[in-house]
Chains A and B, each alone.
Chain A
Amino acid sequence: MTTDTAAGSSAADVVAGLPESPAVWCSALRKRYGRQTAVDDVSFSVARGEVLGLLGPNGAGKTSVIKMLLGLVRPDAGEVMLLGRRSSDPRSRSAVGYLPELFRYQPWLTAAEVLDLHVRLARVPVAAEEQRECLALVGLADRAGDRVGGFSKGMQQRLGLAVALVARPQLVVLDEPTSALDPLGRVDVRDLVLSLKSRGVAVLLNSHLIGEVERVCDRVVILDKGRVAASGTLAELLGQREVRLRLADVDGSAEDRLRGAGALTRSGDWFTVQLAADDDGVTVPDLVRDLVGLGVRVHAVEPVRISLEERLLAVLRHEEPAS
């Protein structure tokens, strides 16, 4: 690699040899609207093939963050890279599919024409047959030739999903993808996200439906008042477990033993012990053995799994430190 041409190709070799860049990488994003700070120092990344859930209350800045990632809103500060390219380069969006929160498509076009338009704009050669399959995937196969103007909100959102998926994306950004869908449609979206994940497509999912996020996401970023309040894998966020015990004849030494196992809360004869995240599975049996030894009558022992919803509420109410 001493000649000029070899040197030229070696730069490409170096880039090609790099570990695959994340699907999304953003650092210190900030955006103000007048006096209102919408987004403040937000950084996160989405690995290739990973499903990341963006959670937070209304006005937390989720949609603003998504729009900054896609170059629709100019950040006041911060950097964004999509699929290895700076977001200032339109080509960074070549393999990105996007379903906006405000989904509206040209009402004078048919569903098939909308998909064809987006395929052209994405400059990806997708055959008409494949475009039809995409419409079928979202349940609009028999409405391909109908004008979008006559579609219900739910159908328009389904069309929006098809638009996001049609140009063979490597990253799909879904902003409230089920807001207008019935329960059946929500299940469809969940299956779609899981099938994207199985094909190695990265997904950034913003949804109010925490159950949905919990089912499909590998990692979660919780935004509150424009800042990252907590983030981590589901295991990290939900790793904390509890055990609930119904006990009688509890004296001081028994309570001390309970406290020794973890933070203790009591409500009548129900005792809740928070277990350490790295609990190796012997804490609870040892605790029960010791309690019986101390003369406590054990009526019930129930493991409690903390849901993402409880964790989210705790973070937003500042009841626990962010991880």
Chain B
Amino acid sequence: MTALTIARLTLREAARRRVVRALLVLTVVLLALSAWGFSKLVGLDTELGTMTSGEARLVASLLLNLVMFGMSLIAALGTAFLAGPTVAGEVESGQALAILARPVRRSAVLFGKWLGLVAFGCGYVAVAGLAQILVVRITVGYWPPSPVTGLALLAAETIVLLTLALLLSSVISTMASGIVAVGLFGATWVAGVVGGIGGALGNEGVERVGTVSRVILPTDGLWRGAMNAFQDPIALIQMGPGEGGFPFLSEAPLAPAYLAWAAVWIAMIWGLTALSFQRRDI
């Protein structure tokens, strides 16, 4: 009951704050740019007349993944900066005093905030992601093999990041938590690319960088799973072996064990946040 009230409050806050308008503008710009780019791609195709259907699918897959990466970045930034002020900001400003003096459990308040942020993040990913897939469908006629899985994994990536941002915001200040969360997100992605290059070069040591970072923060692993769901299976064959280091194609779908780890990771970080929030003097 408390959790639902707080979740509704969090969604209402998201709807009424500038961050959502900024997110909306960024998304529309990204969609418009990608629509323009994809339509040029079709023009290129007819002009040169040399692109085979396989090549066109490869390029469309690559571009869709590229744009989806932009989308996931927007979702990550948006939710991290929404999650940042929730705990730290409300404690600093004094808003938390009146709320927590009510007959509520702190864990229920925290769960409500998390639930609201999850609903917001997933809603954004679903709407913006679907719009992007439709843009690609209309401009180049490409439809990803499993769009629902892809979007679900993108949403899971967002949940991972906002859970981390929530933990950070219960420990450090508002601004810092947003910045650290996004920084870690970027670092993991880069580590993933480095690991991919290591794999392509057959260097196990370098490859391990990506594997380890994917375990520590599951955003990059989930992102790779999402890419795999969006890209045409022929694309990888087109690209040829030894190109595994390329950042916008993914070699294999996600293993169920990794998905389970991501779920455990979220539960663990959530538990830590609840523990630290429970003990905190307001």
Q: Interface on A for B, CB 8 Å cutoff?
A: 67, 70-74, 90-94, 96, 98, 100, 102-106, 108-109, 117-118, 120-123, 160, 163, 173
Contact = CB atoms under 8 A, between A and B. Distances in A.
B50 interface: no
Contacts, number: 69
Contacts of B105: 90
Nearest to B105: A90
Contact of A90 (B5, B17, B94, B104): B104
16 contacts: A71-B101, A72-B97, A72-B100, A93-B103, A100-B98, A100-B101, A102-B94, A102-B97, A103-B94, A106-B9, A108-B12, A121-B99, A121-B102, A123-B1, A123-B103, A163-B98
A117 B5 contact: yes
Sorting the interface of chain B by its residue count into under 10, 10 to 19, 20 to 34 or 35 or more gives 20 to 34
A67 B5 contact: no
B105 to A, nearest CB: 5
Contacts of B95: 104-106
Contact of A122 (B93, B102, B281): B102
Contacts of B2: 121
Interface string B81-120: 0000000000001110111111111000000000000000
Contact of A108 (B5, B17, B98, B99): B17
Nearest 6 interchain pairs by C-beta: A102-B94, A121-B102, A100-B97, A104-B94, A108-B16, A98-B101
B282 interface: yes
Contacts of B100: 71-72
B268 to A, nearest CB: 24
Contacts of B251: none
Contacts of A92: 103
B54 to A, nearest CB: 51
A105 B9 CA distance: 12
B1 A100 contact: no
Interface string B1-35: 11001000100110011000000000000000000
Among A73, A91, A96, A106, the one with the most B-chain Cβ atoms within 10 Å of its Cβ is: A106
Contact of A74 (B1, B5, B9, B279): B279
B12 A73 contact: no
Contacts of A93: 101-103
Nearest to A109: B12
A74 B279 CA distance: 7
Contacts of B9: 106, 117
Contacts of B99: 121
Nearest to B96: A72
B13 A108 contact: yes
Contact of B97 (A94, A98, A118, A120): A98
Given A93-B102, A106-B95, A122-B102, 7 more contacts: A71-B100, A96-B101, A98-B97, A118-B102, A122-B103, A123-B1, A123-B103
A13 B218 CA distance: 56
A272 B93 CA distance: 51
Among B12, B100, B102, the one with the most A-chain Cβ atoms within 10 Å of its Cβ is: B102
Nearest to A66: B101
Contact of A121 (B12, B94, B104, B279): B104
Nearest to A147: B16
A102 B13 CA distance: 21
Nearest to A149: B16
Given A104-B94, A105-B95, A121-B5, A70 B13 contact: no
A108 B95 CA distance: 12
A103 B17 CA distance: 21
A243 to B, nearest CB: 47
Contacts of B17: 108
Interface string B109-149: 00000000000000000000000000000000000000000
Nearest to A99: B98
B279 A72 contact: no
Contacts of B281: 67, 72-74
A92 B17 CA distance: 34
A96 B97 CA distance: 13
Given A74-B279, A100-B98, A106 B13 contact: yes
Nearest to A85: B103
A64 B95 CA distance: 17
A117 B95 CA distance: 13
Contacts of A71: 100-101
